[in-house]
Amino acid sequence: QVQLVESGGGLVQAGDSLRLSCAASGGTFSSKVMGWHRQAPGKEREFVASITWSGALTWYADSVKGRFTISRDNAKNTVYLQMNSLKPEDTAVYYCAVRVPTTSRYDYWGQGTQVTVSS
């Protein structure tokens, strides 16, 4: 059974940084795309960033470009999200997810980690 476990969330002030981690287990993640999504209170879940197996390709939502960086360590089956210059509007539950490259649908999701940015 595939399991994704996020960590690294917390309460920070605007302008601070956080690094989220997502440890994957129970499956084969080679060739998979791993991504981060977030859901703020009262809003729909939205895409944040994703990365291919090789790390050669990354995608970012416009709202986080230049501030967030996604990376992965395949030896550890772990994907990271480095978040800099955090803003109050980044406050959300952040979810890790995995999909095959040929579809846009994410098949497995983690439980999420809360990120709260105070002004």
- In this predicted structure, the answer to whether residue 14 has a pLDDT above a threshold of 90 is yes
- Out of 14-18, 34-38, 52-56, which region has the weakest mean confidence (pLDDT)? 52-56
Average pLDDT of the segment spanning 10-15: 98
Tell me the per-residue pLDDT of 59-104, one tens digit each, with 9 for 90 and over: 999 999 999 999 999 999 999 999 999 999 999 999 999 998 888 8
The residue among 3, 34, 26, 14 whose CA lies nearest residue 110 is: 3
The CA distance from 80 to 94, in Å, is 12
The CA distance from 99 to 67, in Å, is 24
Tell me the per-residue pLDDT of 19-50, one tens digit each, with 9 for 90 and over: 999 999 998 888 899 999 999 999 999 999 99
The residue among 14, 56, 39 whose CA lies nearest residue 110 is: 39
Q: What is the pLDDT of residue 27?
A: 84
Q: Rounding to the nearest 10 degrees, give the CA dihedral for residues 59, 74, 71, 117.
A: 110
- In this predicted structure, the answer to whether residue 117 has a pLDDT above a threshold of 90 is yes
